[in-house]
Amino acid sequence: MKTNNRIRLFAVFFMMFTVILVVVVLVILPRDKKKDSIPPTPFVPGQINRFGKEAEVDTFSSIDPFVVVSSSANVTESGDVISINRENGTLVKISKNNTKVLYPSPVFSFSFADPFVSLVEFENRNKIVVINIASNDSFTLETKETNNTISVSINADAQKIFFLSGFNARTGVSTLYTSSLNGFSPVALIDTAATKVEALSSSSVLLIEEGEASGLGKVHIYDTKNKRLSSAFSADKYSVSPGGLQLLLQTNGGFQLLNVASLSLSQTALPDGTRTVWESEEVVVNIKNTSRDSIEITKVKLLTGEILSRKIAQTRQIVNVIGITENELIASNIDGEIIKISLTP
């Protein structure tokens, strides 16, 4: 009797073991194997994957390397580059296969707000020249207030001009002026140590103080309507959004977003990059040198940090990002070339 019970007990255990073994062999192992068999999707240049394909790169053949002063260059809506010719100081417009001289005399500084170029001559900083590149018209602004002008910027929508004049080499101080382009009558706004002015809107301007040994510069927002100067914000690099509503400030500690209206700062979840440029008020393009001969281009949603796309481009290291059009990034590389990089998905 005891023997029969032992046999029955053994049979029960054997059947349970058999069921467990079958489950393991037929269900669990295949599932794990299937999981392991799914390969990762690394970003490999030239291959189409979830990050897209390799970005196409094209070189401006109309100008020799290192001729363009790319750190002060701008890009038009059609993808042409406005810059100073390093060899003779003239202002030029560079297309893919053609270079046109916009101003034949050496230029000290200039700014671009499509379609206006505003500039100061190198040898005569007592006048401001404004060129409409769409109509090829130009005119000169010259009064006692334009004496020793060092920087100028136009808000094209409001037809207003802002400029820093009366520069005192001993104190490093200039006066910020503004005027309508239609009937030039400058009004003094504030004395400042800034060396560059950039119009954000008809009533807000960015004042930039160059960095010293630390490399960090300072930026201020001046509200012309309320005559209010913001406190200083430190940055190695800055980038203005297309509508002039936001500033992206880059330091060694990462990126901060500055709201121009409220002057509030917020952290952003952007990946580390060499240069960053705005595509819209919500999306920025981050460019990172990954080797001497390739770069990584990442489109990021600014507030959430969501990566919208990522590409590799086979080109030499990027030194300066000049601008962005609807489908192309314009930049200069370590070889002094001006290049276009396709942003098409």
- The two structure tokens encoding residue 340: 């276009």
The pLDDT, as a whole number, for residue 327 is 85
3-class DSSP assignment, residue 271: coil
3-class DSSP assignment, residue 124: coil
3-class DSSP assignment, residue 216: coil
Taking a C-beta distance cutoff of 8 angstroms, is the pair 229, 190 a contact?
Answer: yes
The pLDDT, as a whole number, for residue 36 is 33
The pLDDT, as a whole number, for residue 32 is 41
Q: For the ranges 129-138, 139-148, 222-231, 243-252, which has the lowest average pLDDT?
A: 243-252
3-class DSSP assignment, residue 23: helix
Strands 254-259 and 246-251, by their bridges, are antiparallel
Residue 38 has pLDDT above 50, yes or no: no
Residue carrying structure tokens 């460019």: 287
- The two structure tokens encoding residue 30: 């295949």
DSSP 8-state secondary structure symbol assigned to residue 24: I
The pLDDT, as a whole number, for residue 13 is 52
The CA distance from 17 to 31, in Å, is 20
3-class DSSP assignment, residue 137: strand
Which domains does the chain show, CATH number per domain?
A: 105-268 (2.130.10.10)
Neighbours of 148 (CB within 10 A): 14
Q: What is the mean pLDDT of residues 304-324?
A: 90
The pLDDT, as a whole number, for residue 19 is 47
Q: What is the mean pLDDT of residues 227-256?
A: 89
Highest mean pLDDT among 3-12, 72-81, 165-174: 165-174
Share of the chain above pLDDT 70, in %: 83
Give the type of residue at 334.
I
The pLDDT, as a whole number, for residue 248 is 92
> If pLDDT is split at 50, 70 and 90, which confidence band does 268 have?
confident
Residue 31 has pLDDT above 60, yes or no: no
Neighbours of 61 (CB within 10 A): 11
The pLDDT, as a whole number, for residue 134 is 92
Mean pLDDT, rounded, of the chain: 84
Q: What is the mean pLDDT of residues 25-52?
A: 37
How many angstroms separate the Cα of 141 from the Cα of each of 23, 121, 130, 155, 294?
Answer: 87, 12, 8, 16, 45
The pLDDT, as a whole number, for residue 18 is 55
Buried b (16+ CB within 10 A) or exposed e, 225-242: eeeeebeebebeebbbbe
The pLDDT, as a whole number, for residue 16 is 58
The pLDDT, as a whole number, for residue 30 is 45
The pLDDT, as a whole number, for residue 42 is 36
Residue 50 has pLDDT above 60, yes or no: no
Q: What is the mean pLDDT of residues 244-267?
A: 89
Q: Give the residue among 107, 105, 117, 130 at the shortest CA–CA distance from 76.
A: 117
The pLDDT, as a whole number, for residue 27 is 43
